[in-house]
Amino acid sequence: MLVPRRAKYRKQHRGTMKGNAHAGTRISFGEFGLSSMSTGWVTSRQIEAARRAITHFTQRGGRVWIRIFPDKPITKKPAETRMGSGKGDVYEYVVTIKPGRMLFEMGGVTKDIAFEALRLASHKLPVKTRIVEKR
């Protein structure tokens, strides 16, 4: 799973998810891509599940690029804990997704295989997505 090696600060605020993505909106490496159409948090486990779905369907053919990295720590308090006494411990890492952000890219496979692999990967993610092709 993807986690940062080190961070300047251990915990972060939740932040907002307004607006569209500015960077990482175009296909840069492959020929096919999975682009987001809504906002949300994607965890490192979901990224790994989508990556495994792609590589399993393509039978390790072609190439896959993961264009997102979970660098936002999410905290959670233990079960049956009283309110107060500070912020909880880091539970998982997520990446904030905005509309237009490229999530995955693929290359070196046919259009049919790429579209089906990216479709299977999109079912593992909590955001609405669309499959795009390089012009």
**What is d(CA 4, CA 79) in angstroms, rounded to the nearest whole number?**
26
Average pLDDT for 68-96: 96
Q: Is 6 inside any structural domain? A: no
Position 118 in a domain: yes
pTM: 0.95
Its domain, for residue 46, covers 37-78+88-133
- Tell me, yes or no, whether 26 lies in a domain: no
Would you say residue 15 lies in a domain?
Answer: no
Q: Give the pLDDT confidence of 101-117 residue by residue, as tens digits.
A: 999 999 999 999 999 99
CATH number of the CATH domain containing 62:
3.90.1170.10
For residue 135, pLDDT over 90 is answered with no
> Which single residue is written with the structure tokens 């932040």?
15
- Write the pLDDT tens digit of every residue in 17-55: 999 999 999 999 999 999 999 999 999 999 999 999 999
| Number of domains within the chain | 1
In a domain, 28, yes or no: no
Answer whether residue 5 is part of any domain.
no
- Does residue 58 register a pLDDT over 90? yes
Asked whether residue 41 is domain-assigned, the answer is: yes
Is 54 part of any domain? yes
